[in-house]
Amino acid sequence: MLNELAEYEAAHLLPNWATEKNQLQTRWTSDLAEASIRQLLKQFSGAVTIKDFVKSRKYEWDEAFYIPNTSDTTHALQVVHNFIERQGTELVGGLVMRKFIELKSLGEHPKSHTPIFEEYRVFYLNSSPLVLINYWRAEKLTLSPADQKLIQVAQKQIPSNFCTIDFARTASGQLIIMEMGDGQVSGLQGYDESTFYKLLRKNLDLDL
């Protein structure tokens, strides 16, 4: 293991990192009673997305992830309850609600037909970027100096030896932090496993 439990939770559970690194309006609750959910909805206007402290159901976009208007309480509650029911025993921590902002579209997912956007996943080892993954393996895209600076420094205040940060491009062109995770359980999104572990071994200086 590269991380102890406290380091794992620092990066992987959203409430532990959102106050420091969050670039989207975000609120959460561990109380899943309807009154608590209604109170959460009242803190937003317009569109939001929902997830638990770790996972979303973004491939069920309309049914259990995206709420187009929080003022439509009936529809919003239906989406939230769908999410809670479908997560079942896998629901972690509670409910997270985040303001939805327009991102640079790359079209639709070929299987689920849900929207996909320009996104990158960066693995960090000992506070330095180890691997940058083009999340949807779209055509090669150029990162500006401002993008590269953000990627270089984004992990500095997170107390984790090995974590991931997912970045997304807004419709206006800005790269922002969307999610964080523990590097030990984050997916490679199609990146070559052999190359990844060779880089990890080299940077850990392990004789394996």
Each residue's pLDDT tens digit, 166-178:
999 999 999 999 9
Report, as an integer, the average pLDDT of 150-166.
90
Report the share of the chain in percent with pLDDT over 90: 78
Tell me the backbone φ, ψ of residue 2, rounded to 5 degrees: -90, -20
Q: What is the SS3 assignment for 42?
A: coil
d(CA 28, CA 22): 13
Nearest to 10 by CA among 181, 186, 184: 181
Bridge-based pairing state of the strands 128-134 and 119-125: antiparallel
Is pLDDT above 70 for 136?
A: yes
What does pTM read for this prediction? 0.91
Is pLDDT above 60 for 208?
A: no
Is pLDDT above 80 for 122?
A: yes
pLDDT of residue 206: 55
d(CA 2, CA 182): 10
Show the DSSP H helices in 94-189 as ranges: 145-153
